[in-house]
Structure 1
Amino acid sequence: MTWNLWWRFGPWERRRTAVLHTLRRERPDVLGLQEVWGSAAPGGENMARWLAAELGMHWTWSRSPVQDRWHGRNGGDTSVDVGIAVLSRHPLLETAELRLPAGDFPDDGKTALHALIDTPGGPLPFFTTHLNSGLDESAVRCAQVSALAAFVGERSAGHAHPPVVTGDFNAEPDFDEMRLLCGYKTAPAAPGLVLLDGWRFADPALPQGTWDMAHRDAAGFGSRPSCIDHILVGPPGEGGRGRVRLTRRAADTAVDGVWASDHAAVVTELALPS
């Protein structure tokens, strides 16, 4: 599962409860989260740690190294930072993070987070990220996915389970950056790396937009919500290991009148080895 939690915007205390309610209902085995808030003070409250404790999951967090724009959007409050996180029902064997490039655009401190997860089907190389969001920033997102692809290739080498790459890419499936990262509609960003977008396995009759859920005035591409959140999976391994069984949208309804986030989540089911 992947989900952008809309940081600490809006009625965040009520939204936090709605997020927890949704995750208890969905019960993901592995979860990539974006716009996760954490206290800037050592030992302070962290949304990922709180969710992990409530759900009985393991967790790791990557704090954005640049916080100025986020603090400015939240009234100048510097006590709470933003980052990305991975939660898992299975133990984390190792973790790593990568600083993504900003190119000629303002540096928003984007990172990618890796967790090698000890699943029943063998170690799973899992990644989550959050790319630049500007409508005119496709070029920097292409640079970011090039760095991400090299990171995925390096950290996935030698593992039987295909890599799983999740996140808010701020790009629809046909954007250059997604074609580059997936590597099957153009030359791959990293030699030999091919990732299948889970949305290719979704029921076309079901909704697939993930942004503009709570904010009807959000900028979109046409009259439909933007599909900018993705779960990408490498080709199946031996015995069908990691084969995509289905993909669907989740977290797309209010909980007790509260939208948990301005993004819907994406859920993908993967097969264990036959």
Structure 2
Amino acid sequence: MRHQLAALDADVVGLQEVLRLDGDGASFDQASLVAEGLGYEIAYGRHPDALHPMGNAILSRFPIARSETRPLPAGGTDERRTVVFAELRTPHGDLPFFSTHLNWKLDEGHVREEQVRFLADAVFELAPPESSALPPVLVGDLNAEPASDEIRFLRGLTSLGRRRVYFADAFDLVGALPGYTFSRENPHAAPLREPNRRIDYVFVRGPDDRGRGEPLSARVCFDEAVEGVYASDHFGVVVALAT
């Protein structure tokens, strides 16, 4: 991953299932290892009751002015998911950036519906529409296909809880579909025998009236092995946005 991340040369990166171990004489910080020498600041967070020492991270070439982590609703399941927020000081204005990871099971769409409603509220609170900041960006492994109610809600195509929002799905607008990010071509994913799906996203609440946040390009990344090894069980998504 570090090799491909260096080649990608992205300004901001959202990561999920990032391992961090500390205590009892053991220390391991996966985000720092991945970002080492690449000029990134790091915001990291995980659920306080997480069953595993993994969380979400944001890597930024811009200064991180503040950050926080919020637990997502679990919907009665034993999964402990979060969203990590960071406010980034870019030359074009402050950028509110969110990295998240939703419940994974195919039959837990009802839980993901709760989670996307929570995310919409969090974005509205931390990046209010009347702010002069850049349009907020929400990225992550949402474990849901574009036709699902939870993704349709984020895209403004259906209501949940008598509420409707709108975020632009960058890949849907300017990427080459189908854009699978979970693929049986990936040997890390193949053993699960799940169908090929596009379940990783870059959303932006934009463009604004100045054209900021307009998706300019989008493509799948990390979809090739380096020395026979894939970076993850998921492929990534890289997007360029107007500033």
So what's the TM-score if we normalise by structure 2? Answer: 0.91
Match of residue 153, structure 1, among 104, 121, 124: 124
Aligned residue in 2 for 1:144: 115
Match of residue 158, structure 2, among 174, 177, 186: 186
Counterpart contact for 1:94–1:115, Cα < 8 Å: yes
Q: How far did 1:169 drift?
A: 0.2
Structure ranking higher in helix proportion: 1
Q: Determine what percentage of the aligned residue pairs are the same residue.
A: 38
Question: Helix, strand or coil: the match of 2:83?
Answer: strand
1:84 aligns with 2:72: no
Match of residue 59, structure 1, among 6, 25, 42: 42
**CA deviation string 1:165-208 (max 9, x = no partner):** 000000011101111223x211367967410111222343x650
**CA deviation string 1:220-258 (max 9, x = no partner):** 34xxx2100000011212331111101110000000111
1:31 aligns with 2:4: no
**CA deviation string 1:27-54 (max 9, x = no partner):** 1100000010111328822111223332
Between the two proteins, the alignment pairs up a number of residues equal to: 237
Q: Which moved more, 1:158-167 or 1:191-200?
A: 191-200
Question: Helix, strand or coil: the match of 1:141?
Answer: helix
Q: Which moved more, 1:89-98 or 1:194-203?
A: 194-203
Alignment partners' CA distance in 1, 2:69 and 2:77:
21
Q: Which amino acid aligns with 1:97?
A: T
CA RMSD after TM alignment: 1.9
1:220 aligns with 2:194: yes
Alignment partners' CA distance in 1, 2:163 and 2:91:
29
1:157-176 equivalences in 2 (<5 Å):
157=128, 158-176=131-149
Question: Helix, strand or coil: the match of 1:217?
Answer: helix
Alignment partners' CA distance in 1, 2:21 and 2:50:
12
Aligned residue in 2 for 1:76: none
Alignment partners' CA distance in 2, 1:41 and 1:228:
34
1:261 aligns with 2:232: yes
Counterpart contact for 1:146–1:190, Cα < 8 Å: no
Q: How far did 1:147 drift?
A: 0.8
Structure 2 residue runs of 5 or longer lacking an equivalent are none
Flag the structure with more relative contact order, 1 or 2, with Cα contacts below 8 A and sequence separation at least 6: 1
Match of residue 104, structure 1, among 66, 76, 87: 76
Aligned residue in 1 for 2:27: 44
The change in CA–CA distance for 1:159 and 1:187 in structure 2 (over 3 A counts) is farther
